[in-house]
């Protein structure tokens, strides 16, 4: 009974997400909008900054997708792909990475249908994956005990592909929005920059929670393990300020995001060191990469921070955004 | 290069000792001359001795620790082979008798630098606070002369020194600090225990283990190889060999391997003067200002009794007549069953899950308590178990072994009562060193049998509730040895005081499981190490106050430079 209800919950989250995504595909065109948004001849007047911000968001989404592709690849291989659904994040994050590369190179100020669909799919995958991971932990003996939180499927991990999808999807909305003199670019009728700032702020906190749990499992045996649970929450606070604040320069937030970009990549270095401390080190890489700390996980922070930088640029150029 | 056999020639010599963390590596070691009276000569290097050697050396005392066993290099010397690893057990000649003669060796004694912690199951549990006053509070056994709150402090010190991996919160007893490292993932055998406990409505948790769940210095985290009780080859196991002894060496202590102590000498003033030991083919004498005996509950009384002289004809430190008396084992009975799904219980440390329910619940018809844990017998041990319990051999044994991957078991560590008739005495036969061998007499009392019956009945129900079939009880096993030189408040009724100091000979100390007045229902290693830490602190305080024989007050701290 417990299993069934958990499975229903997971299916419910997935179905809800799909419905939401589909409904977003047919927004009621506002009166002041030009409906033929993919008609290049009808291209709205964009500031080049908006497209640049959108491309940066594509790049950030791509980095997050790369992290997910490698991380879920390693971890699901470790789980022997016991359930066929475990291939899903690999396929989806692979596709997200490809279209993010495409988006990063794409200078056109219009959304792209394939990118749109893929990003939406990534977001849905994140939600469904989270449901699956909750199901996996909840059905174990002891339920949501520390033992199962530590060693069951990581609850927060699928959120990274959700964030990648959200950021990518936002990028597409940004490209197709038509800022006029009164207002800056918008996403879902909300100021684009501020909405993104909120998403990134929450994303940073979620990713911090994941790192906090798994580093607690490792008993914070190395002081450096405190970095990803202390620096990102400050970043989240700064992004929250970007979201609600009145100032536009956001020098501190900008510098902090660069710090987080660096921290994310440095994290992989630390994790490589962690792997080397297992019996046999890298000479026994085929076992130790699976046994040691996840090599590809920390750059999720870099991906989010890059998105933060794009978002800050957007707010700087369009103070109302 | 000649083959380097640790059992053939001493390794700790020439100003260096094996570096247990680096293949072929060495660490510098300070050496003392036999004629040079060291502050402390310590007999043994196990849980009591190694811990004390480290703490005393770190306080600046000159320390020499002698061990009859070899100085193994875990990364190189330990094979994934049960037969080969019997080299870690103390299998010298001994005579066992009584109603329930003990099986000596793998389960209760080690012969190696690091003592039996080199092959212990790493289960690191605290006593229930009431056990330190079990006579007064629970009506059986004897009171300890130490308060549990003081022990709580030293338990925490040892848990941190060994980076014990344990549950985030412990379900039983007084609050304890969080374990330094997190618990290991449970294997299928541990989940069988958990399932049984949930069905029986009692608590269970991950066992606090002295094996790393995250890296520590040069020691690798556990790889779940499963050969823990035959010697860990990754150094994840936090044995004395890889924890206290490297610290001791770095602080200027000397460790002498393959050095069997045969006799303690006393002077005309009644104080100990040093120890006779056999090393590299000859008997030698190390002079010392203080002698610490820590050879565990058989070898400790044996050495004290073998050291009898004109002044102490019944053995030294034995005016109470209690040296060798009150030997306590722990009952180690099990129930086994077959599960539908594969269990492969040998994966990972053998006792990943535990319930201490019957240590903390007093609603039972016997004194004392027991814990029970999940099991992971290696194949040879399992074949032996089948042979011993069911007399299986040949085709029948082969058939039984085919179920090996499906077997799950629950095994107790149960308290036995102190009885003077259970004792270590000297036999007339001599061993390879020419020393009289111990006679070990052991019989269970009615209370011990009641406890065992209770545990077998309860575990049988739990295993059945977890879904096991073909359940049977293994009724004959014991483990751990304690209590042959008990501590107490009264010189007539104990061998040492709370500081592990002999009542009779003030510069003689006993610091191992022998001093336990009661054993409790938990594995003793953590308590032995906690007592050693306490003893070290007490020695430090007494030395500063000038209360130690032959040690000047307030000794200056030496500069720690190993001599070449």
Distance from CA of A146 to the nearest CA of B (A): 7
Of residues B185, B214, B220, nearest to A279 (C-beta): B220
Instruction: Compute the count of residue pairs across chains A and B with CB atoms less than 8 Å apart.
Output: 50
Q: Which residues of A touch B (CB under 8 A)?
A: 141-142, 146-147, 150-151, 216-219, 221, 274, 277-279, 287, 291
How far apart CA A152 and CA B211 sit, in angstroms, is 21
**Residues B226-283: pLDDT tens digits?**
999 999 999 999 999 999 999 999 999 999 999 999 999 999 999 999 999 999 999 9
| Structure-model confidence comparison of residues A249 and B416, the more confident one | B416
Q: Do B183 and A147 touch (CB under 8 A)?
A: yes
Q: What are residue B209's phi and psi, to 5 degrees?
A: -125, 145
- Per-residue model confidence (pLDDT) at position A168: 93
Q: What is the pLDDT of residue A320?
A: 63
Distance CA B122, CA B525 (A): 8
Q: How far apart are CA B383 and CA B388, in angstroms?
A: 9
* pLDDT for position A35: 38
CA-closest candidate to residue B331, choices B449, B410, B190, B423: B449
Three-state helix/strand/coil letters over chain A: CHHHHHHHHHHHHHHHHHHHHHHHHCCCCCCCCCCCCCCHHHCCCCCHHHHHHHHHHHHHHHHHHHHHHHHHHHHHHHCCCCCHHHHHHHHHHHHHHHHHHHHHHCCCCCCCHHHHHHHHHHHHHHHHHHHHHHHHHHCCCCCCCHHHHHHCCCCCCCHHHHHHHHHHHHHHHHHHCCCCCCCCCEECCEEHHHHHHHHHHHHHHHHHHHHHHHHHHCCCCCHHHHHHHHHHHHHHHHHHHHHHCCCCCCHHHHHHHHHHHHHHHHHHHHHHHHHHCCCCHHHHHHHHHHHCCCCCCCHHHHHHHHHHHHHHHHHHHCCCC
Out of B206, B214, B223, whose CB is closest to A279? B223
- With 70 as the cut, is the pLDDT of residue B201 above it? yes
Q: What is the pLDDT of residue A47?
A: 63
* Chain B residues near residue A278 by CB distance under 8 angstroms: 215, 220-221, 223
CA-nearest of B473, B348, B467 to A141 is B467
| Section B394-410 average pLDDT | 95
Position B557 scores a pLDDT of 52
Query: Is B553 within the bounds of a domain?
Result: no
Judged against a pLDDT cut of 60, whether residue A24 lies above it is answered with no
- Side-chain-side CA neighbours of residue A110 (13 Å): 14
Min Cα separation B127/chain A (Å):
24
Rg of chain A in Å (alpha carbons): 20
Q: Which of B186, B189, B215 to mutate to test the interface with A (most CBs of A within 10 A)?
A: B215
Count of beta carbons in the 10 Å neighbourhood of residue A227: 20
How many residues can be counted in chain A? 321
Cross-chain residue pair A221–B185, CB shorter than 8 Å: no
Shortest distance between the Cα of B149 and any Cα of chain A, in A, equals: 26
Can you give the pLDDT at residue A187? 76
Contact B241, B74 (CB under 8 A): yes
pLDDT (average), residues B114-138: 97
Q: Do residue A219 and residue B181 have CB atoms under 8 angstroms apart?
A: yes
Q: Is the pLDDT of residue A318 over 80?
A: no
Residue ranges making up the domain that contains B111: 29-544
Phi, psi of B313 (to 5 degrees): -65, -20
Q: What is the pLDDT of residue A39?
A: 40
Contact status, residue B228 vs residue B122, Cβ threshold 8 Å: yes
Strand partners, A224: none
Chain-wide mean pLDDT for chain A?
84
Secondary structure class of B370 (helix, strand, coil): strand
Chain B residues within an 8 Å CB radius of A141: 191, 194-195, 198
* Domain contains B536: yes
Average pLDDT over residues A187-203: 87
DSSP string over B137-166: IISSS-B-SS-HHHHHHHHHHHHHHTT-EE
Q: What are the contacts of B269-277 at 24+ separation with CB within 8 A?
A: B270/B311, B270/B504, B270/B505, B271/B505, B271/B506, B271/B507, B271/B508, B271/B549, B271/B550, B272/B316, B272/B505, B272/B507, B272/B508, B274/B37, B274/B41, B275/B41, B275/B43, B275/B66, B277/B66
B42 within a domain of the structure (yes/no): yes
Report the residue of chain B nearest A275, measured CA to CA: B215
**What is the reported pTM?**
0.91
Burial class (CB in 10 A: 0-12, 13-18, 19+), A209: middle
CA-nearest residue to B218 within chain A is A277
CATH number, residue B367: 3.50.50.60
pLDDT at B563 over 60: no
Residues of B with CB under 8 A from a CB of A: 163, 167-168, 180-183, 185-186, 191, 194-195, 198, 206, 213-216, 220-221, 223, 234
Can you say how many angstroms the Cα of residue A154 is from the centroid of all Cα atoms in its chain?
A: 16
Closest CA to A100 of A58, A66, A65: A58
Q: pLDDT at residue B117 above 60?
A: yes
Q: Residue B220: which of A151, A216, A277 has the nearest Cβ?
A: A277
A221:B214 CB<8 A? yes
User: Which residues partner with B263 through β-bridges?
Assistant: B276
Q: Element (H or E) spanning B544, and its range?
A: helix B525-544
Query: Which residue, among B328, B497, B482, has the nearest Cα to B419 in the 3D structure?
Result: B328
Q: With beta carbons less than 8 A apart as the criterion, state whether A68 and A160 touch.
A: yes
What are the beta bridge partners of residue B17?
B27
Cβ <8 Å between A141 and B195: yes
Report if residue B443 sits inside a domain: yes
Total tally of structural domains belonging to chain B: 1
Q: What pLDDT, on a 0 to 100 scale, did the predictor assign at position A110?
A: 85
Q: What is the dihedral of CA B315, B318, B322, B324, to 10 degrees?
A: -30
Per-residue pLDDT band at A284 (split at 50, 70, 90): very high
Name the β-bridge partners of B254: B64
Say if B378 falls within a structural domain. yes
Chain B CB contacts of A146 below 8 Å: 167-168, 182-183
Please give the pLDDT value at position A246.
Answer: 78
- Closest approach of chain B CAs to the CA of A155, in angstroms? 17
The CA R_g of chain B, rounded to the nearest whole Å, is 22
Instruction: Report whether pLDDT(B82) > 90.
Output: yes
**Inter-chain residue contact A141 with B194, CB threshold 8 Å:** yes
Q: How close B227 gets to chain A, by Cα (Å)?
A: 15
Res B429: pLDDT: 97
Mean pLDDT of B533-561: 76
CA atoms within a 13 Å half-sphere pointing along the CA-CB vector of B245: 39
**pLDDT value, residue B476:** 86
Lowest mean pLDDT among A124-138, B2-16, B120-134, B159-173: B2-16
- B195, B198, B214 ranked by CB distance to A218: nearest: B214
Domain contains B551 = no
Q: What is the pLDDT of residues B326-362, one digit of tens each?
A: 999 999 999 999 999 999 999 999 999 999 999 999 9
Q: In what order do the strands lie in the sheet with B423-430?
A: B95-97, B436-441, B423-430
**Beta pairing, strands B272-279 & B282-293:** antiparallel
Looking at every residue in chain B, the average pLDDT score rounds to 95
Would you state the pLDDT for residue B558? 52
Query: Which chain B residues are Cβ-neighbours of A293 within 8 angstroms?
Result: none
> With an 8 Å Cβ cutoff, are A141 and B198 in contact?
yes
Strand partners of residue B411 = B334, B373
Chain B residue nearest residue A273, CA to CA: B215
Residues of B in contact with A279 (CB under 8 A): 220, 223, 234
pLDDT score recorded for residue B463:
98
pLDDT of A26 > 80? The answer is no
Give residue A46's pLDDT: 54
pLDDT tens profile B15-61: 999 999 999 999 999 999 999 999 999 999 999 999 999 999 999 99
Band of the pLDDT at A15, cuts 50, 70, 90?
A: very low
Mean pLDDT of the region B174-198: 96
- Nearest CA to B224 among B183, B166, B185, B182? B185
Q: Is residue B312 part of a domain?
A: yes
- Please indicate, yes or no, if residue B241 is contained in any of the structural domains: yes
pLDDT tens for each residue of A238-266: 999 999 987 778 999 999 999 999 999 99
Q: Do B216 and A221 touch (CB under 8 A)?
A: yes
Contacts of B411 (CB under 8 A, 6+ apart): B332, B333, B334, B351, B372, B373, B375, B474, B477
Per-residue pLDDT, B110: 93
pLDDT tens profile A127-185: 999 999 999 999 999 999 999 999 999 999 999 999 999 999 989 888 887 666 556 77
Nearest residue in A to B23, CA atom: A280
How far off is chain A from B163, nearest CA to CA, in Å? 10
C-alpha separations of A216 from A233, B181, B183, B221 in Å: 17, 9, 11, 15
User: Cβ of B220 and A278 within 8 Å?
Assistant: yes
Question: Are B182 and A141 a contacting pair at CB < 8 A?
Answer: no
> Residue B110 carries which DSSP code?
B
pLDDT band at B13 (very low <50, low <70, confident <90, very high): very high
* Chain A positions in Cβ-Cβ contact with residue B204 (cut-off 8 Å): none
* pLDDT of A6 higher than 60: no
**Predicted local confidence at residue B108, as pLDDT:** 86
Average pLDDT of B511-518? 97
Closest listed residue to residue B356, CA positions, set B487, B529, B176: B176
Question: Greater confidence, A314 or B487?
Answer: B487
Residue B79 has pLDDT above 80, yes or no: yes
What pLDDT is stored for residue B2 in this prediction? Answer: 55
Pairing of strands B334-338, B469-474: antiparallel
Are residues B305 and B425 in contact, defined by beta-carbon separation less than 8 angstroms?
yes
Among candidate residues B108, B124, B199, the one with its CA nearest the CA of residue B167: B124
Instruction: Decide if A253 contacts A294 (C-beta within 8 A).
Output: no
Residues of B in contact with A287 (CB under 8 A): 223
At residue A317, the pLDDT reads 78
Closest-CA residue of chain B to A214: B182
Distance in angstroms (rounded) separating the CA atoms of residues B171 and B125: 13
Q: Are residues B215 and A291, on separate chains, in Cβ contact within 8 Å?
A: no
Quick check: B395 pLDDT over 50? Answer: yes
List CB contacts (< 8 A) between B234 and chain A.
279
**Rounded-to-integer distance, Cα B9 and Cα B310, Å:** 35
């Amino acid at each position: 009974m417990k299993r069934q209800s958990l499975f229903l919950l997971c299916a419910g989250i997935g179905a809800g997400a799909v419905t939401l995504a589909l409904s977003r595909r047919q927004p009621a065109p506002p009166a002041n909008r030009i409906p033929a948004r993919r008609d290049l001849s009808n291209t709205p007047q964009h500031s080049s900054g908006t497209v640049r911000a959108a491309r940066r968001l594509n790049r950030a989404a791509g980095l997050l997708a790369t992290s997910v592709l490698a991380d879920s690849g390693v971890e699901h291989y470790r789980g022997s792909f016991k359930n066929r659904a475990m291939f899903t994040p690999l396929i989806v994050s692979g596709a997200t990475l490809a279209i993010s590369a495409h988006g990063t190179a794409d200078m056109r100020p219009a959304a792209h249908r394939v990118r749109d669909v893929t990003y939406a799919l990534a977001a849905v995958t994140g939600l469904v994956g989270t449901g699956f991971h909750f199901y996996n932990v909840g059905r174990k003996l002891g339920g949501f005990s520390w033992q199962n939180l530590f060693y069951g499927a990581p609850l927060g991990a699928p959120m990274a592909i959700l964030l990648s999808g959200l950021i990518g999807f936002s990028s597409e909305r940004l490209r197709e929005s038509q800022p006029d003199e009164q207002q800056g670019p918008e996403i879902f009728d909300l100021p684009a920059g501020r909405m993104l700032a909120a998403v990134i702020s929450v994303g940073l906190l979620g990713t911090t929670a994941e790192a906090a749990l798994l580093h607690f499992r490792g008993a914070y045996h190395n002081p450096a393990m405190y970095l990803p649970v202390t620096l990102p929450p400050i970043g989240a606070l700064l992004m929250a300020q970007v979201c609600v604040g009145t100032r536009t320069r956001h020098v501190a937030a900008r510098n902090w995001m660069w710090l987080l970009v660096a921290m994310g990549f440095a994290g992989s270095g630390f994790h490589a060191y962690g792997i080397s401390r297992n019996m046999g080190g890298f000479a026994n890489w085929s076992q130790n990469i699976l046994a040691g700390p996840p090599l590809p996980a920390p750059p999720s922070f870099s991906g989010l921070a890059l998105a933060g930088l794009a978002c800050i640029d957007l707010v700087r150029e369009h103070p109302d955004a | 290069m000649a083959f380097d056999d640790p059992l053939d020639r001493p390794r700790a010599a020439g100003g260096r000792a094996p570096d247990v963390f680096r293949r072929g590596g060495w660490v510098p070691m300070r050496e003392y001359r036999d004629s040079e009276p060291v502050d402390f000569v310590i007999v043994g290097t196990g849980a009591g001795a190694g811990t004390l050697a480290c703490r005393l050396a770190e306080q600046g005392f000159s320390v020499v620790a002698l061990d009859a066993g070899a100085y193994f290099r875990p990364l190189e010397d330990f094979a994934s082979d049960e037969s080969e690893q019997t080299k870690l057990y103390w299998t010298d000649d001994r005579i066992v008798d009584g109603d329930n003669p003990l099986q000596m060796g793998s389960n209760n004694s080690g012969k190696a630098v690091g003592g039996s912690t080199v092959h212990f199951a790493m289960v690191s549990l605290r006593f229930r606070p009431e056990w330190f006053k079990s006579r007064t509070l629970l009506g059986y056994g004897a009171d300890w002369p130490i308060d549990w709150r003081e022990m709580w402090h030293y338990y925490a010190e040892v848990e941190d020194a060994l980076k014990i991996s344990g549950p985030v919160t412990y379900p039983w007893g007084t609050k304890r600090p969080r374990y330094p490292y997190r618990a290991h993932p449970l294997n299928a055998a541990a989940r069988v225990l958990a399932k049984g406990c949930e069905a029986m409505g009692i608590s269970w948790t991950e066992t606090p283990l002295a094996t790393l769940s995250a890296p520590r210095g040069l020691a690798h985290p556990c790889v779940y190889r499963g050969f823990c009780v035959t010697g860990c080859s990754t150094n994840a196991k936090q044995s004395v060999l890889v924890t206290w002894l490297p610290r001791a060496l770095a602080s200027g202590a000397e460790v002498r391997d393959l050095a069997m102590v045969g006799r303690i000498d006393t002077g005309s003033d009644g104080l100990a003067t040093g120890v006779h030991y056999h090393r590299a083919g000859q008997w030698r004498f190390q002079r010392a200002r203080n002698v610490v005996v820590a050879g565990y509950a058989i070898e400790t009384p044996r050495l004290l009794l073998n050291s009898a002289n004109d002044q102490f004809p019944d053995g030294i430190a034995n005016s109470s007549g209690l040296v060798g008396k009150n030997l306590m084992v722990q009952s180690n009975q099990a129930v086994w069953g077959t599960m539908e799904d594969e269990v492969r219980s040998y994966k990972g440390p053998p006792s990943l899950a535990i319930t201490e329910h019957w240590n903390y619940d007093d609603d039972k018809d016997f004194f004392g308590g027991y814990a029970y844990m999940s099991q992971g017998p290696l194949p040879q041990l399992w074949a032996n178990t089948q042979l011993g319990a069911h007399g299986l051999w040949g085709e029948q044994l082969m058939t039984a072994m085919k179920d090996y991957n499906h077997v799950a078991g629950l095994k107790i560590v149960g308290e036995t009562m102190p009885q003077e008739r259970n004792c270590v005495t000297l036999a007339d036969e001599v061993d390879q060193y020419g020393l009289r061998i111990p006679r070990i007499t052991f019989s269970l009392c009615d209370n011990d049998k009641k406890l065992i019956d209770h545990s077998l009945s309860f575990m049988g129900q739990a295993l059945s509730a977890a879904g096991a079939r073909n359940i049977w009880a293994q009724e004959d096993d014991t483990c751990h040895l304690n209590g042959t030189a008990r501590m107490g408040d009264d010189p007539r009724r104990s061998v040492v005081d709370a500081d592990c100091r002999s009542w009779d000979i003030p510069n003689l100390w006993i610091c191992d499981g022998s001093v336990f007045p009661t054993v409790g229902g938990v594995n003793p290693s953590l308590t032995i190490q906690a007592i050693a830490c306490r003893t070290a602190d007490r020695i430090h305080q007494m030395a500063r106050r000038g209360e130690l024989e032959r040690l000047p007050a307030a000794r200056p701290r030496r500069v720690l430079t190993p001599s070449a």
